[in-house]
Amino acid sequence: MRATQLHLVTYRNDPADAEVLSHRLMARAGYIHKLSAGLYVYGPLLWRTLKKVQDIVREELDGIGGLEVQLPILQDQALWEKSGRWDLYQASRTMLSTQDRKGTTYGLAPTAEEVVTDYAGATIKSYKQLPVSLYQIHTKFRDEIRPRFGLMRVKEFLMKDGYSFDADEAGLDARYEAFRGAYVRIFQRCGLEAFGVDADPGDIGGSGSMEFMVAADAGEDAILIEESSGYAANVEKAESRIAPSPSEGDAARPMRREHTPDIRTVEQLEGFFPEISADRMVKTVLCKAVHIDSEQPWAVLIRGDQEVNEVKLRNHTGGLGIKMLTDTEIESLTGAKPGFAGPVGLPEAFEIVADHSVRGMVNLLCGANTTDEHCLDVNLGRDCPMPTFADVRTARAGEPGPRNGDPLIERRGIEVGHIFKLGTKYSAAMGATFTDPNGKPQPLVMGCYGIGVSRVAAAAVEQQSDDLGIRWPVPIAPFEVVVACLSVKDEELVAAAEGLYAQFREAGIDVLYDDRKMGAGAKMKDLELMGFPFLVYVGRSWKQDGQAEVRDRPAGEKTLIAKDEVFETIARSVRSQRRGLLPE
Ligand code: ATP
Ligand code: MG
């Protein structure tokens, strides 16, 4: 391909809304063009990269028996009513909906469990047809609250979504394992450093779930890692051990009340009662779980030095989301101003859950549900009913890990893939059954498997760029090599560059010939920004010393190579970095 035919466009300045590196670089190098918030045009260079990512995904999924299909993006409401998710996705406003001329309502696919379950239910009749794994690479639409970070969080994006159907849990386990292995190879082959972490299944649901994360500072997810055991989990899900409250084992004292004027926070209480540390206090967090057509107030008891984890809490309440109560709501529900809530005498309107950190605490300090009052020496089960306990706490870096008790380390990550064991959640709800060997109908046992194909490209830029610009890993670079003629008016140089270009092409190397008429410096800067792995400059030193100037981005080197060695040297480097199938 010749650069003059490739519609290359670069910009000098970063877009005003670009907060992260990948957004800045991809916009400046002309890979993306913003239409409006969260909607981008993928330019020709980016599309080459995305096609390479897709090819790797296809090879690996075909290799584990995956069958590629294409499912509609417009999905009718009736289908989503069957799984019970229509209202949920409408309530969270994730799914955009529209009507056709007949008045039928459709949603724009944020994911495709309903459609694929309908297809599987209709076409799989007998256990003899199982297992079946289907996948597609297609556009997904999600009305994100805050689209941002370029391709990282957009409204419309390219996803690979796969779905497996088995006769039983053992089959699902085997399929899940096969997809997990394929995911490890896919990200390796894309040249990304990715790792799997325990994850919360979110709105997709199901039992087991693992996210694949690309380590990068700009990542929106926090991951906690216990190195000695290999434990790694999204902070939404992570567990840790903490030392018990120092009050544990003390003899119970009678409860009393104390006037605490305008003392509301744990910090203020520590100042007011210097002998009582935060780990002897219980915070009462008042919130509500939002359901499809109702809201339930909750009181969450947690040790004073700990924080509530909203995702764990949402899962415990079974709600779509959690909202904090407003000051007015707190006052009308508890009769006290904010900052004085506690488990003693809490109105019945509240459901109560206590974090495990509260278990075993004795003589604790908490709010009295009266403005400007706190209770001291409270004992749960004596001064108020014994609450239900659950893990609703956010684990933090530095705390002892759940397996070996070694300190947890925090890393930031970009979620590029997510796999789930769905079980029979969708098949049972939608009546997708097969006949087992005894002639009985059984619901299909399902798994589902996503990769954010367009996010993978952004994650690669985020993880690998350098001072010059993007630095694509060879397997997903739009071109592996660029031969650039630095003086297109010089016939000798043009002939030499064309010769090299032909040599690379004949050798099956994905090569771009930069024949643009522009200054040598500007041309080099441009190509470096666009991030091609190997740049071969045919210019002054070719004529003077018989050498090509070579920029090897993966190695971060700029070298001079004799003109009759340049092809061999670069071809060898390219081939060594193409990453075929790696041994498991
Ligand atoms: P996130 O937590 O980042 O919102 P998710 O957990 O909702 O993502 P999944 O339902 O697991 O996403 O979707 C599968 C994959 O699709 C994700 O792992 C991610 O790589 C990609 N993806 C999800 N939402 C977006 C988005 N708004 N823009 C780009 N890629 C996305
Ligand atoms: Mg996810």
CA distance 31 to 37: 17
Under 8 Å between Cβ of 104 and 77: yes
Measured in Å, residue 151 CA sits from the centre of ligand 1 at: 11
pLDDT band of residue 203 (cuts 50, 70, 90) is: confident
The domain locations on the chain are 20-218+413-462, 256-390, 474-577
Which pTM was predicted? 0.92
pLDDT digits (tens, 9 = 90+) for 408-424: 999 999 999 999 999 99
pLDDT at 70 over 60: yes
Residue with the smallest CA separation from ligand 1 atom 13 is 450
Q: Radius of gyration of the chain from Cα atoms?
A: 29
The residue whose CB lies within 8 Å of the most ligand 1 atoms, and thus the one to mutate among 139, 220, 418, 451, is 418
pLDDT band of residue 583 (cuts 50, 70, 90) is: very low
Calculate what percentage of the chain has a pLDDT beyond 90: 94
pLDDT at 48 over 50: yes
Under 8 Å between Cβ of 367 and 262: no
Q: What is the CATH number of domain 474-577?
A: 3.40.50.800
pLDDT digits (tens, 9 = 90+) for 91-127: 888 999 999 999 999 999 999 999 999 999 999 999 9
Residue with the smallest CA separation from ligand 1 atom 25 is 153
Residue with the smallest CA separation from ligand 1 atom 19 is 452
Please give the pLDDT value at position 62: 98
Question: What residues line ligand 1, using a CB cutoff of 6 Å?
Answer: 111, 142, 144, 153-154, 157, 159, 202, 204, 415-418, 450, 452, 455
The residue whose CB lies within 8 Å of the most ligand 1 atoms, and thus the one to mutate among 200, 422, 455, 456, is 455
pLDDT at 208 over 90: no
Measured in Å, residue 229 CA sits from the centre of ligand 2 at: 24
Question: Which residues contact residue 360 at a Cβ distance below 8 angstroms, ignoring those fewer than 6 apart?
Answer: 244, 245, 248
The neighbourhood of ligand 2, an ion, using CB within 5 A, equals 418
Measured in Å, residue 319 CA sits from the centre of ligand 1 at: 21
What is the atom index within ligand 1 of the atom nearest the CA of 144? 27
Q: Quick one: average pLDDT of 439-457? A: 98
CA distance 175 to 64: 9
pLDDT digits (tens, 9 = 90+) for 512-558: 999 999 999 999 999 999 999 999 999 999 999 999 999 999 999 99
CA distance 91 to 84: 12
Pick the range with the lowest mean pLDDT from 90-99, 252-261, 411-420, 572-581.
572-581
Please give the pLDDT value at position 580: 61
Return phi, psi of residue 54, to 5°. Answer: -60, -40
Please give the pLDDT value at position 204: 76
User: How many H helices and E strands in the chain?
Assistant: 15, 29
Measured in Å, residue 272 CA sits from the centre of ligand 2 at: 44
Question: Nearest ligand to the C-alpha of residue 454?
Answer: 1
Environment class of residue 27 by beta-carbon count within 10 Å: exposed (0-12), middle (13-18) or buried (19+)?
A: buried
DSSP 8-state class, residue 243: P
Residue with the smallest CA separation from ligand 1 atom 12 is 418
DSSP 8-state class, residue 92: T
Q: What is the CATH number of domain 20-218+413-462?
A: 3.30.930.10
Q: What fold does the segment set 256-390 form as a domain? A: YbaK protein (3.90.960)
User: Coil, helix or strand for 513?
Assistant: strand
pLDDT at 582 over 70: no
pLDDT at 73 over 90: yes
Measured in Å, residue 204 CA sits from the centre of ligand 2 at: 8
Please give the pLDDT value at position 584: 43
Q: How far is CA 36 from CA 25, 39, 40, 51, 468, in A?
A: 18, 5, 7, 24, 28
What is the atom index within ligand 1 of the atom nearest the CA of 159? 16
pLDDT digits (tens, 9 = 90+) for 16-44: 999 999 999 999 999 999 999 999 999 99
